[in-house]
Amino acid sequence: MTNTITVDELRKFSQTFVAREPERLGADGWWQTPLLAAAPVDSRFDQLPQIAADDHVLPQDLLATGRPVILFFIPFKKNLVKENRQGDRPCPNWGRAYVQTNDLIGRLTRALGNLLAERGFKSGQTPATHNCDEVRLMARWSHKHLAHLASLGRFGIHHMLITPRGSTGRPGSLVTEAELGDHPLIETREACLLKAGKACGQCIKACPVEALSEDGFERRRCGDRLTENQRTLAYFADLPESTRVCGKCVAVMPCSFKNPVAVQNAK
Ligand code: SF4
Ligand code: SF4
Protein backbone atom coordinates (compact mmCIF):
# COMPACT_ATOMS: atom_id res chain seq x y z
CA MET A 1 0.00 0.00 0.00
CA THR A 2 1.32 3.44 -0.99
CA ASN A 3 0.45 6.12 1.54
CA THR A 4 0.40 8.98 -0.95
CA ILE A 5 -2.01 10.32 -3.49
CA THR A 6 -1.94 13.44 -5.64
CA VAL A 7 -4.56 15.81 -7.01
CA ASP A 8 -3.51 14.79 -10.52
CA GLU A 9 -4.33 11.15 -9.73
CA LEU A 10 -7.72 12.18 -8.32
CA ARG A 11 -8.41 14.30 -11.41
CA LYS A 12 -7.55 11.47 -13.81
CA PHE A 13 -9.59 9.01 -11.78
CA SER A 14 -12.65 11.34 -11.88
CA GLN A 15 -12.27 11.94 -15.61
CA THR A 16 -12.14 8.21 -16.35
CA PHE A 17 -15.07 7.53 -14.02
CA VAL A 18 -17.31 10.12 -15.73
CA ALA A 19 -16.15 9.11 -19.23
CA ARG A 20 -17.27 5.51 -18.53
CA GLU A 21 -20.74 6.49 -17.34
CA PRO A 22 -22.43 6.51 -20.80
CA GLU A 23 -21.26 2.93 -21.38
CA ARG A 24 -22.63 1.88 -17.97
CA LEU A 25 -25.96 3.53 -18.77
CA GLY A 26 -26.05 2.33 -22.37
CA ALA A 27 -26.80 5.92 -23.43
CA ASP A 28 -24.93 9.01 -24.64
CA GLY A 29 -24.85 10.63 -21.17
CA TRP A 30 -25.08 14.32 -20.32
CA TRP A 31 -21.56 15.10 -19.18
CA GLN A 32 -18.29 16.71 -20.19
CA THR A 33 -14.92 16.15 -18.50
CA PRO A 34 -15.14 16.99 -14.76
CA LEU A 35 -13.02 19.51 -12.89
CA LEU A 36 -11.47 18.80 -9.50
CA ALA A 37 -9.94 21.20 -6.95
CA ALA A 38 -8.63 20.78 -3.40
CA ALA A 39 -8.15 23.16 -0.49
CA PRO A 40 -6.69 22.65 2.99
CA VAL A 41 -9.18 22.84 5.86
CA ASP A 42 -8.09 26.26 7.13
CA SER A 43 -9.71 29.40 8.51
CA ARG A 44 -11.44 30.23 5.20
CA PHE A 45 -14.01 27.51 5.97
CA ASP A 46 -14.85 29.12 9.35
CA GLN A 47 -16.98 31.64 7.42
CA LEU A 48 -19.40 28.93 6.23
CA PRO A 49 -22.03 29.73 8.91
CA GLN A 50 -21.92 33.40 7.82
CA ILE A 51 -21.99 32.95 4.04
CA ALA A 52 -24.13 29.77 3.86
CA ALA A 53 -26.51 28.37 6.53
CA ASP A 54 -25.82 29.34 10.16
CA ASP A 55 -25.86 25.63 11.06
CA HIS A 56 -23.66 24.64 8.11
CA VAL A 57 -21.54 21.58 8.90
CA LEU A 58 -17.80 22.31 9.03
CA PRO A 59 -15.32 20.02 7.23
CA GLN A 60 -13.90 18.85 10.57
CA ASP A 61 -17.45 17.85 11.65
CA LEU A 62 -17.59 15.49 8.69
CA LEU A 63 -14.15 14.04 9.41
CA ALA A 64 -12.30 15.10 12.56
CA THR A 65 -8.94 14.19 11.02
CA GLY A 66 -9.81 15.86 7.69
CA ARG A 67 -7.04 17.93 6.13
CA PRO A 68 -8.26 19.02 2.70
CA VAL A 69 -11.69 19.35 1.10
CA ILE A 70 -11.93 17.89 -2.41
CA LEU A 71 -14.42 19.57 -4.74
CA PHE A 72 -15.43 18.44 -8.18
CA PHE A 73 -17.75 19.81 -10.84
CA ILE A 74 -19.36 17.75 -13.61
CA PRO A 75 -20.29 20.05 -16.54
CA PHE A 76 -23.27 19.28 -18.76
CA LYS A 77 -22.90 18.87 -22.51
CA LYS A 78 -23.76 21.96 -24.53
CA ASN A 79 -26.63 20.35 -26.45
CA LEU A 80 -28.50 19.65 -23.20
CA VAL A 81 -28.08 23.26 -22.08
CA LYS A 82 -29.25 24.55 -25.47
CA GLU A 83 -32.30 22.28 -25.28
CA ASN A 84 -33.21 23.79 -21.90
CA ARG A 85 -33.08 27.31 -23.32
CA GLN A 86 -36.50 26.92 -25.00
CA GLY A 87 -39.64 28.11 -23.17
CA ASP A 88 -40.28 29.00 -19.54
CA ARG A 89 -40.23 25.44 -18.19
CA PRO A 90 -37.34 22.96 -17.99
CA CYS A 91 -37.14 20.46 -20.84
CA PRO A 92 -37.72 16.75 -20.03
CA ASN A 93 -34.02 15.94 -20.39
CA TRP A 94 -33.07 18.61 -17.84
CA GLY A 95 -34.97 16.64 -15.19
CA ARG A 96 -33.50 13.31 -16.30
CA ALA A 97 -29.99 14.77 -16.33
CA TYR A 98 -30.51 16.13 -12.80
CA VAL A 99 -31.50 12.70 -11.48
CA GLN A 100 -28.72 10.83 -13.26
CA THR A 101 -26.13 13.43 -12.31
CA ASN A 102 -27.02 13.21 -8.62
CA ASP A 103 -26.59 9.45 -8.86
CA LEU A 104 -23.27 9.90 -10.68
CA ILE A 105 -22.05 12.40 -8.07
CA GLY A 106 -22.91 9.95 -5.30
CA ARG A 107 -21.06 7.09 -6.98
CA LEU A 108 -18.04 9.23 -7.92
CA THR A 109 -17.83 10.48 -4.33
CA ARG A 110 -17.89 6.93 -2.99
CA ALA A 111 -15.37 5.77 -5.63
CA LEU A 112 -12.99 8.60 -4.67
CA GLY A 113 -13.49 7.59 -1.02
CA ASN A 114 -12.65 3.97 -1.89
CA LEU A 115 -9.53 5.03 -3.80
CA LEU A 116 -8.41 7.12 -0.81
CA ALA A 117 -9.14 4.19 1.53
CA GLU A 118 -6.96 1.90 -0.64
CA ARG A 119 -4.13 4.35 0.03
CA GLY A 120 -4.87 4.33 3.76
CA PHE A 121 -6.84 7.60 4.06
CA LYS A 122 -10.28 7.98 5.59
CA SER A 123 -12.83 10.33 4.01
CA GLY A 124 -16.06 12.03 5.06
CA GLN A 125 -18.90 12.30 2.55
CA THR A 126 -22.44 13.65 2.17
CA PRO A 127 -24.99 13.13 -0.63
CA ALA A 128 -25.13 15.40 -3.71
CA THR A 129 -28.42 16.81 -2.44
CA HIS A 130 -31.22 16.06 0.07
CA ASN A 131 -29.43 17.81 2.97
CA CYS A 132 -31.49 20.95 2.53
CA ASP A 133 -33.51 22.69 5.27
CA GLU A 134 -36.94 22.78 3.61
CA VAL A 135 -38.05 25.88 5.55
CA ARG A 136 -35.03 28.10 4.83
CA LEU A 137 -34.08 26.32 1.57
CA MET A 138 -30.45 26.33 2.72
CA ALA A 139 -28.15 23.30 2.55
CA ARG A 140 -26.35 22.28 5.74
CA TRP A 141 -23.49 21.02 3.54
CA SER A 142 -23.39 23.30 0.52
CA HIS A 143 -21.13 21.93 -2.22
CA LYS A 144 -21.48 25.29 -3.99
CA HIS A 145 -20.25 27.37 -1.02
CA LEU A 146 -17.40 24.93 -0.39
CA ALA A 147 -16.47 25.09 -4.08
CA HIS A 148 -16.45 28.89 -3.89
CA LEU A 149 -14.15 28.85 -0.84
CA ALA A 150 -11.85 26.28 -2.47
CA SER A 151 -11.75 28.44 -5.63
CA LEU A 152 -13.24 25.83 -7.93
CA GLY A 153 -15.59 28.62 -8.98
CA ARG A 154 -17.29 31.86 -7.98
CA PHE A 155 -20.94 32.70 -7.42
CA GLY A 156 -22.77 34.49 -10.20
CA ILE A 157 -25.72 36.85 -9.89
CA HIS A 158 -27.84 33.74 -10.56
CA HIS A 159 -26.45 32.18 -7.34
CA MET A 160 -24.94 29.31 -9.29
CA LEU A 161 -21.27 28.45 -9.31
CA ILE A 162 -19.27 29.70 -12.33
CA THR A 163 -16.23 27.48 -12.88
CA PRO A 164 -13.59 27.65 -15.65
CA ARG A 165 -16.01 25.38 -17.59
CA GLY A 166 -19.02 27.55 -16.78
CA SER A 167 -22.09 27.22 -14.61
CA THR A 168 -24.07 24.40 -16.22
CA GLY A 169 -23.26 21.30 -14.25
CA ARG A 170 -23.31 20.08 -10.67
CA PRO A 171 -20.70 20.00 -7.88
CA GLY A 172 -19.83 17.33 -5.34
CA SER A 173 -17.36 17.15 -2.48
CA LEU A 174 -15.69 15.10 0.21
CA VAL A 175 -13.21 15.60 3.03
CA THR A 176 -10.12 13.42 3.38
CA GLU A 177 -7.07 12.83 5.56
CA ALA A 178 -4.67 12.80 2.59
CA GLU A 179 -2.31 15.76 2.36
CA LEU A 180 -3.08 17.38 -1.01
CA GLY A 181 -2.17 21.07 -0.73
CA ASP A 182 -4.04 23.98 -2.29
CA HIS A 183 -5.20 23.44 -5.89
CA PRO A 184 -7.57 26.26 -6.93
CA LEU A 185 -8.91 26.41 -10.47
CA ILE A 186 -10.63 29.75 -10.89
CA GLU A 187 -8.23 32.50 -11.94
CA THR A 188 -10.29 35.66 -11.32
CA ARG A 189 -11.68 37.30 -8.16
CA GLU A 190 -15.14 37.32 -9.77
CA ALA A 191 -16.36 35.10 -12.61
CA CYS A 192 -19.70 36.85 -13.15
CA LEU A 193 -19.56 39.76 -15.58
CA LEU A 194 -21.99 41.90 -13.60
CA LYS A 195 -20.19 41.27 -10.30
CA ALA A 196 -16.92 42.22 -12.02
CA GLY A 197 -18.42 45.58 -13.02
CA LYS A 198 -19.04 44.64 -16.66
CA ALA A 199 -22.25 44.65 -18.69
CA CYS A 200 -24.53 41.61 -18.50
CA GLY A 201 -27.59 40.73 -16.37
CA GLN A 202 -28.84 38.16 -18.91
CA CYS A 203 -29.74 35.67 -16.17
CA ILE A 204 -31.93 38.31 -14.48
CA LYS A 205 -33.93 38.71 -17.68
CA ALA A 206 -34.15 34.94 -18.25
CA CYS A 207 -35.71 34.08 -14.88
CA PRO A 208 -39.42 33.38 -15.48
CA VAL A 209 -40.44 34.41 -11.94
CA GLU A 210 -38.17 37.45 -11.43
CA ALA A 211 -36.31 35.81 -8.57
CA LEU A 212 -33.01 37.45 -9.53
CA SER A 213 -31.83 41.04 -9.31
CA GLU A 214 -28.53 42.87 -8.98
CA ASP A 215 -29.24 43.28 -5.27
CA GLY A 216 -30.32 39.82 -4.24
CA PHE A 217 -31.97 36.48 -4.74
CA GLU A 218 -35.61 35.72 -3.91
CA ARG A 219 -34.83 32.19 -2.72
CA ARG A 220 -38.44 31.34 -1.87
CA ARG A 221 -39.74 32.51 -5.25
CA CYS A 222 -37.17 30.32 -7.03
CA GLY A 223 -37.86 27.37 -4.69
CA ASP A 224 -41.62 27.61 -5.31
CA ARG A 225 -41.01 27.55 -9.07
CA LEU A 226 -38.90 24.40 -8.79
CA THR A 227 -41.61 22.71 -6.70
CA GLU A 228 -44.29 23.78 -9.18
CA ASN A 229 -42.26 22.33 -12.06
CA GLN A 230 -41.94 19.01 -10.25
CA ARG A 231 -45.64 18.86 -9.37
CA THR A 232 -47.19 20.06 -12.61
CA LEU A 233 -45.02 18.91 -15.52
CA ALA A 234 -46.44 15.62 -16.79
CA TYR A 235 -43.07 14.57 -18.21
CA PHE A 236 -41.54 14.71 -14.71
CA ALA A 237 -44.19 12.36 -13.29
CA ASP A 238 -41.88 9.32 -13.45
CA LEU A 239 -38.95 11.15 -11.82
CA PRO A 240 -38.34 11.25 -8.05
CA GLU A 241 -40.13 13.92 -5.98
CA SER A 242 -36.72 15.47 -5.29
CA THR A 243 -36.42 16.49 -8.98
CA ARG A 244 -36.71 20.23 -8.39
CA VAL A 245 -35.25 21.93 -11.44
CA CYS A 246 -35.54 24.95 -13.72
CA GLY A 247 -32.14 26.10 -15.03
CA LYS A 248 -33.39 28.98 -17.18
CA CYS A 249 -30.85 31.36 -15.59
CA VAL A 250 -27.93 29.20 -16.76
CA ALA A 251 -29.24 28.18 -20.18
CA VAL A 252 -26.94 29.66 -22.82
CA MET A 253 -25.67 32.63 -20.81
CA PRO A 254 -22.23 34.24 -21.21
CA CYS A 255 -21.16 32.18 -18.17
CA SER A 256 -22.79 28.86 -19.20
CA PHE A 257 -19.65 27.18 -20.57
CA LYS A 258 -16.72 29.35 -19.43
CA ASN A 259 -15.52 32.00 -17.00
CA PRO A 260 -16.46 35.06 -19.09
CA VAL A 261 -14.44 37.44 -16.92
CA ALA A 262 -11.23 35.50 -17.64
CA VAL A 263 -12.08 35.46 -21.35
CA GLN A 264 -12.67 39.25 -21.43
CA ASN A 265 -9.51 39.92 -19.40
CA ALA A 266 -7.46 37.88 -21.88
CA LYS A 267 -8.57 40.05 -24.85
S1 SF4 B 1 -25.57 35.70 -16.97
FE2 SF4 B 1 -24.19 37.46 -16.71
S3 SF4 B 1 -24.90 38.48 -14.84
FE4 SF4 B 1 -25.80 36.44 -14.85
S5 SF4 B 1 -24.35 35.20 -13.65
FE6 SF4 B 1 -23.78 34.98 -15.80
S7 SF4 B 1 -22.22 36.55 -16.15
FE8 SF4 B 1 -23.28 37.07 -14.24
S1 SF4 C 1 -33.56 28.39 -11.30
FE2 SF4 C 1 -35.28 29.29 -12.49
S3 SF4 C 1 -36.60 30.27 -10.96
FE4 SF4 C 1 -34.63 29.91 -9.98
S5 SF4 C 1 -33.48 31.80 -10.29
FE6 SF4 C 1 -32.92 30.46 -11.98
S7 SF4 C 1 -34.35 30.97 -13.61
FE8 SF4 C 1 -35.19 31.83 -11.71
The atom of ligand 2 lying closest to the CA of 250 is 6
Return the SS3 of 139.
Answer: strand
Cα end-to-end distance, the chain, whole Å: 48
Q: Residues of the chain whose pLDDT is less than 50?
A: 130, 137
- pTM of the entire predicted model: 0.92
**Looking at residue 97, what is its pLDDT?**
97
Contact 165, 194 (CB under 8 A): no
Average pLDDT over the chain, rounded to an integer: 92
Binding site membership of 162 for ligand 2 (Cβ less than 6 Å): no
Q: Is residue 64 part of a domain?
A: yes
To the nearest 10°, the Cα dihedral for 173, 169, 96, 233?
A: 110
Q: Is residue 95 part of a domain?
A: yes
Q: Is residue 199 part of a domain?
A: yes
Separation in Å, CA 73 to CA 11, 61, 157, 168, 220: 11, 23, 19, 9, 25
Q: Is residue 251 part of a domain?
A: yes
**Ligand nearest 160 Cα, by number?**
1
Number of domains in the chain: 1
Structural domain boundaries, residue 42: 7-260
Q: Is residue 244 part of a domain?
A: yes
Q: Measure the CA–CA gap between 64 and 62, rounded to whole angstroms.
A: 7
Q: Is residue 2 part of a domain?
A: no
Q: Is residue 266 part of a domain?
A: no
pLDDT tens-digit readout, 169-225: 999 999 999 999 999 999 999 999 999 999 999 999 999 999 999 998 999 999 999
**Looking at residue 2, what is its pLDDT?**
54
Binding site membership of 111 for ligand 2 (Cβ less than 6 Å): no
Q: Is residue 265 part of a domain?
A: no
Nearest CA to ligand 1 atom 3: 201
Q: Give the angle 124-45-103 at the CA atoms, nearest 5°.
A: 40
